[in-house]
Amino acid sequence: MERNSSDDDEEDHQHLIPQNDTRSRHREDPTNGGSSFQIEDIILSRRKISLNKRYLLAAVSLTILIGLIFLFTDLRQQFSSFKVDPLSSRVKESELRALYLLRQQQLELLSIWNGTTSANSSVRVAVAKQISLNNEIQEELLSSHKTGNYSGSVVANLYERCVKVDQKLSDRRTVEWKPRSDKFLFAICLSGQMSNHLICLEKHMFFAALLDRVLVIPSSKFDYQYDRVIEVERINTCLGRNVVVSFDQFKKSRPPRIDRFICYFSSPQLCYVDDEHIKKLKGLGVSIERKLESPWSEDIKKPSKRNVDEVRRSFKSDDDVIAIGDVFYADMEQDWVMQPGGPINHKCKTLIEPNKLILLTAQRFIQTFLGNNFIALHFRRHGFLKFCNAKAPSCFYPIPQAAECIARMVERSNGAVIYLSTDAAESETSLLQSLVVVDGKIVPLVKRPPRNSAEKWDALLYRHGIEDDSQVDAMLDKTICAMSSVFIGASGSTFTEDILRLRKDWGTSSMCDEYLCRGEEPNFIAEDE
């Protein structure tokens, strides 16, 4: 279906989030880890150009330090007669850790190399020498592991380039959610599409826990039909008590009313709620006893950082049923919210995840088409050109440049195939497919195919009559991406952010996860209108 420019403008504001809200949450990884170079190819020039002395000094220091450790510790003698004892195990772990650090240093040096122009010959020569020395030390350290029982899979696993992120679950800071059975919080989530609403719903759970209230999941006549993509009752199971109820359950237990409607944001519009949404609530039989109010001055375009005490104090109420909206843009205790598993104490990996039908369908698709080593790419294009070009730097990349970035990630991660989650036109994806080439071979880009009765991977969706639901399709895409070995996301997209949340909570996050062409600017940007 075609959309006009006004539709794109509306989507730009409603469905995407500011880039600076997300970039600080994830580790910046250098790209082009699989690149190679020849020092002989460097053409020296006599121009004197200032060096990045601090970085080079640090690189030299680290390299010399590891080299000295190697020279003064007779590691080969340690490993020549392999014996299982605590001392030798610690030596092995330390040596393999040194290999990992050298690899990380090499990636950083290669990043500097690739970002330095040929005119900066003195910088390139200095970096080249450090990479060469780095390689020599790696080879020496690896040589001690190439004999005996300690070679092969152990070294390969510990020296893996895209290792899983250590989420440090023991360091989680959480609150207990033990609501009073007669106090309710009505969730109001209105901005953007389903990804925005799921993020908003997770924040509402935090609010409900802080205020000791049961959370009321909105009706599908007012919001999305959440029970088609997530299992609401599973949230209660994870907490071991009733903490959420559906709107229909709430309506059966008491007259549906909102005693107090509190707005997190006061500007540019109270609660981000318009007259149309108020009419929808009243159409569900919900009476609103008071006018909309806000406890503070808060602009949705410039949200202030708020803490737990401020929220408890400002939203505390003796009323039985309160509504708070919209909290998607709320900047409240982000360190808590962004923890693996979220800010609430529970016994599951995450409170909001795809339902069982979608999880099983994703697993069957992966088993059919992808296997256990695949890269997932969220390649957002629709409505993204104007949105990205309004930011500095832009996040909309020409197809050839995007293909280069993707190819570098394939080299770095050794991914066999790429799962493509995209709203791009066929003309764009066809060009992208032709340009993603590694070692002279095209890397397959796989999208979910149209329905084929001969294929059984999606049979569960058809059996339960949810195969044509756009929100189910979107959640299935997210689930497949969240299960990938490495994920490349679209900076500024809440769809990407929800995938990163799932990967963080499920423990599938990789050290190689990053936004497409991270650290680069588009090599061509169109002028403004």
CB-CB contact of 312 with 210 (8 Å)? yes
User: For position 68, what pLDDT does the model report?
Assistant: 52
Residue 119 neighbours by CB under 8 Å, 6+ apart: 45, 47, 49
User: For position 445, what pLDDT does the model report?
Assistant: 97
Among 163, 181, 134, 504, which residue's Cα sits nearest to residue 353?
504
User: For position 498, what pLDDT does the model report?
Assistant: 95
Domains of the chain and any CATH numbers: 184-338 (3.40.50.11340), 356-515 (3.40.50.11350)
User: For position 171, what pLDDT does the model report?
Assistant: 79
Among 228, 171, 175, which residue's Cα sits nearest to residue 206?
175
| Residue 487, phi then psi, degrees to nearest 5 | -125, 130
Which residues on neighbouring strands pair with residue 421, listed in sequence order?
A: 378
CA 128 to chain centroid: 33
User: For position 483, what pLDDT does the model report?
Assistant: 98
CB-CB contact of 419 with 446 (8 Å)? yes
pTM, two decimal places:
0.71
User: For position 277, what pLDDT does the model report?
Assistant: 82
User: For position 147, what pLDDT does the model report?
Assistant: 45
Place of tokens 């002028």: 527
CA–CA distance, 57 with 187 (Å, rounded to integer): 54
CB atoms within 10 A of CB 318: 8
The low-confidence residues of the chain, meaning pLDDT below 50, are 1-51, 53, 70-90, 146-159
- Helix (H), strand (E) at residue 68: helix 53-72
User: For position 464, what pLDDT does the model report?
Assistant: 92
